[in-house]
Amino acid sequence: MAQNKKHITPENITEWLSSTGFLFPRNEVELERFEKLYGDIDFGLTGKEIDPDQIINGTFKEKRIAKIPDNINKIEINPYRMAARNGNELPKHILDKIKKNQSKPRNDSPEPEGSDK
């Protein structure tokens, strides 16, 4: 006669979710199961990646670095620019602002954003 080999039931689903890392372990048994599954994995974390004080104070800024390859063909990128503007051209006031910024003499000292001269 066949035996029921299912170990996960509606009564113990929360226990298994906690033991496998989908929920936080709530007791020693769940923690031991979690450590047995993931104890030998090195995530390469130093503990200095996140500063809780910055999060609590609201001063945390996520750093994002976008690397754009140098070998991109400008013709290939144009349809993506149009898609970002929902297929529309740039408005005249935006083009005027770009031209104004391009005609300004280049200054090495940074100016605060939003300061239009």
Tens digits of pLDDT across the chain (117 residues): 567 666 888 888 999 899 998 999 999 999 999 999 988 888 787 777 778 888 888 888 777 777 777 777 766 666 666 656 666 777 788 878 888 888 887 765 555 555 554
Six token digits for residue 47:
């503990």
Is there a contact between 34 and 19 (Cβ–Cβ < 8 Å)? Answer: yes
Q: Total domain count for the chain?
A: 1
Identify whether 79 is part of a domain. Answer: yes
Answer yes or no: is 78 within a domain: yes
In a domain, 89, yes or no: yes
**Residue 69 located in a structural domain:** no
Domain of residue 84 covers 74-101
Residue 31 included in any domain = no
Q: Does residue 97 fall inside a structural domain?
A: yes
Assigned domain for 41 exists: no
10 occurs within a structural domain: no
The C-alpha atoms of residue 70 and residue 68 are separated, in whole angstroms, by 6
